[in-house]
Structure 1
Amino acid sequence: MRDDFDYDDDFAYSDFDDEDEDDDFGMTFEEDLYLMIREKLRDTIQEYKAQHPALKKLESAVSAFKVNAKNTDDSKFYPLAAKLLSEHIKPLTQDSEEIQEIYDNMQTDIARFKNQRAHGYEGELYLTD
């Protein structure tokens, strides 16, 4: 059960070995999916923000995003967090085509909360060259 989710703290573990990456023992599908979405979003911003200045605004918005849902189990918390994150960045889609593409690709992954068998977005990053 998570009470809140802080963007900066959640990826502090990124310095571990690849062996540990495969160990999601105890992680729910919802948590794993949400962390994957956040990781793709973060990696996309880091990869492309130098080429697309509008992504700096997206980075700031994502960094400021917090969820506070006390006493909510994982099966409800992570889909809610994904939905709120999506709603948080949706207004930025008007700023650039790149943010719109990121948003659209995120929606494909977010749909998997409702249907675990849904295809999801296949790329490792939410933008393509």
Structure 2
Amino acid sequence: MSTITTLDVTGMTCGHCVSAVTRELEAVPSVKNVSVDLNVGEASTVTVVSDAPLPEDALREAIDEAGYELAGVSTHSSEDEFSQLAGTRERVYAGTGMIGSGSPVAVGPVGIPLTSRADADAAALAEAEAPQSGGCGCGGCGCGA
């Protein structure tokens, strides 16, 4: 089982900073992968995937060696990450609602109806077959084009 450690690192401003932090963290035993979300002017988010939980002092030393400051650390397992993503997906897609025809539809996190691909294709076909008024097809401008 992998462990995912998220570090908040301050002082990073460019690709060279990202390279220095990545190189130092990759030298820490058990580290499998390092990715950096550079946020100039605020703490950058560094995600470290490892075979086992990493000692905070080793992470702090690696960040210090690269020339930056470790402002925060959080750790969770890949199982925790999967559960969190599954929970988010459930909240987004599990809701149901009703559309004008009374048909149930999935509803997004703010009540926006989510349309299936088949329903979208059927609506596009019905629109294409509908009689058009006006030349451009908009029905309102009367351009005759």
TM-score by length of 2: 0.26
Structure 1 or 2: more strand by fraction: 2
The structure that is helix-richer by fraction is 1
Instruction: Say which one has the larger Rg.
Output: 2
Question: Normalized against structure 1, the TM-score is what?
Answer: 0.28
